Amino acid sequence: MPTRKPTNRLFDRRGFLRQSTLATLGTMLGTELVFADRLPPNYLPLAFDRTDPLDPMSSKHKDLIVLSDKPWNIETPPHLLDDRVTPAERMFVRNNGLIPDAVDPTTWTLTINGESARAAKTYTLADLKKRFRTHTYQLTLECAGNGRAGFFPKTAGNQWSEGAVSCAEWTGVRLKDILADVGLKPDAAYIGYYGRDLHLSQDPKKEVISRGVPMFKAFEDETLVAWAMNGQDIPLAHGAPLRLVIGGWPASVSGKWLHTISVRNKIHDGAKMTGKSYKVPIDPVEPGQDPPENRFKIIESMPVKSVITFPKTGITSPNGRPIALRGHAWAGDRVVRSVEVSMDFGATWQPAKLEPPRNRLAWQHWSAEVRPPRPGYYELWARATDETGVSQPMVMPQWNPEGYCNNACHRVAVKVV
């Protein structure tokens, strides 16, 4: 594990306040901190600026929205997702633990182990680059909790609106090529990843998140062990120096700061694979109802969805001028067949122009033009349909206790004046 040396007495290396120093802090503020011993861990009086040396916002567009900073969870407003390929500075961040502070690509290794690997094998980053063919794919990564803020009743967890989705260009080697080199036993059923991030408790023995996918998904051409994003080294917040990248499924299966992949003979049982994490009820439940654990199933391919990246919600547009709209659409493992737009709350729809994906599991770009008939308030809606004919719902879809997979139509407001 990386070493964590304190930088000063008040804060540890990550900017966490040392509990024992609250009294000292009080003295520094010129006031007594009454009941300092009862304050929650990591509590810091507002008078002190917290500076996390690993703050991902230092390299993000300033208009990204910080949902939390311990762990870092940062969302992208939809109008900042306008690029065809998401740049690093506009990519949402979803962390379950603390970003590792000592990642050295020169000594980094990937170990393949597990009961269904013929033998454990370890590769350096240089081995991976040298021994296997390199591939590049654009891959849509959407947090399963994207859209959670739209569920009523409210569910626990980060209240993501629309922007926990990205489609960057990832470069690395195919996981299936590495697994073929290692050799698998016939009972191989699932892979599980392990990353170098640290549990919020800072206990190095505690697992943050360790998820995975069944073999058929692990073996897809587009499932990569990647070291580059958009032609550059992967940024630290996004999993440097090595990351598992799996498009179309909850982004939680794309393990950051990857050091180990276990080949399992059963469904992987790492952190956040068990309990109700990343699972939805098997039977449709009444909003607010929470069925027992054995009535939940793991989310696999994400549902069809689209986002309007232009115009930005709230704009005004001159009467008589057509309004250009554009955005992206994706459908998990499926292809998007069509996108339609509406300016009358879904009463009528008109087809958008839709491009094919750059490669399988990349989002698709769409564009349209609407002509509001007279001045006033309008909402522009977009609705995507996948290749099997399944469309986005116009209102909140099936409620579920963890608030996953809200793929309701995105809408933006426009005033015609």
Ligand X SMILES: Nc1nc2c(c(=O)[nH]1)N[C@H]1C(S)=C(S)[C@@H](COP(=O)(O)O)O[C@H]1N2
Contacts to ligand X by CB under 6 A? 91-97, 141, 143, 166, 195, 197, 208-209, 238, 251-252, 254-257
- Binding of residue 166 to Mo ion (CB under 5 A): no
230 binds, among Mo ion, ligand X, none (CB under 5 to 8 A by kind): none
**If contact means CB under 5 to 8 A according to the sort of partner, which of ligand X, Mo ion, none does residue 195 touch?**
ligand X
- Could you identify the residue written with the tokens 């009743």? 153
β-strand pairing of 411-416 with 315-317 = parallel
Which of 76, 252, 309, 392 is the binder for Mo ion (CB under 5 A)? 252
Shortest Å, Cβ 221 to ligand X: 21
Residues in the chain: 417
Shortest distance, CB of residue 54 to ligand X, whole angstroms?
13
In the bound state with ligand X, the residue whose beta carbon lies nearer, of 238 and 268, is 238
Nearer to ligand X, 238 or 334 (CB): 238
Nearest-10 Cα torsion for 147, 148, 153, 156:
-170
Nearest CB to ligand X, comparing residues 209 and 382: 209
- Closer to ligand X at the Cβ: 143 or 368? 143
Nearer to ligand X, 56 or 281 (CB): 56
Among 98, 103, 117, 143, binds Mo ion (CB under 5 A): 143
Cβ 122 to ligand X shortest distance, Å: 19
- Among residues 93, 107, 34, the alpha carbon closest in space to that of 61 is found at 93
Q: How many CB atoms lie within 10 A of CB 148?
A: 23
Q: Which residues partner with 161 through β-bridges?
A: none
For Mo ion, the nearest residue by Cβ is 143
| Cβ-contact 275, 295 below 8 angstroms | no
How, if at all, do strands 243-245 and 232-233 pair? unpaired
Q: Residue 335 binds what, of Mo ion, ligand X, none (CB under 5 to 8 Å, by partner type)?
A: none
| 80 conformational bin, left if phi > 0, alpha if psi -120 to 50, beta if neither | alpha
The least distance separating ligand X from the CB of residue 53, rounded to whole angstroms, comes to 18
3-state secondary structure string across 80-145: HHCCCCCCHHHCCEECCCECCCCCCCCCCEEEEECCCECCCEEEEHHHHHHHCCEEEEEEEEECCC
| DSSP-assigned letter for residue 154 | -
Q: Which of 92, 151 has the CB closer to ligand X?
A: 92
Burial 313-333 (b: 16+ CB within 10 A, else e): beeebeeeeebebbbbbbbbe
In the bound state, the residue with its beta carbon closest to ligand X is: 195
CB of 88 to ligand X, least distance (A): 9
CB of residue 229 vs ligand X: minimum separation in angstroms?
9
Query: Contacting Mo ion (CB under 5 A), which of 94, 174, 238, 305?
Result: 94
- Least separation in angstroms between residue 276's CB and Mo ion is 14
Which residues form the interface with Mo ion (CB under 5 A)? Answer: 94, 143, 251-252
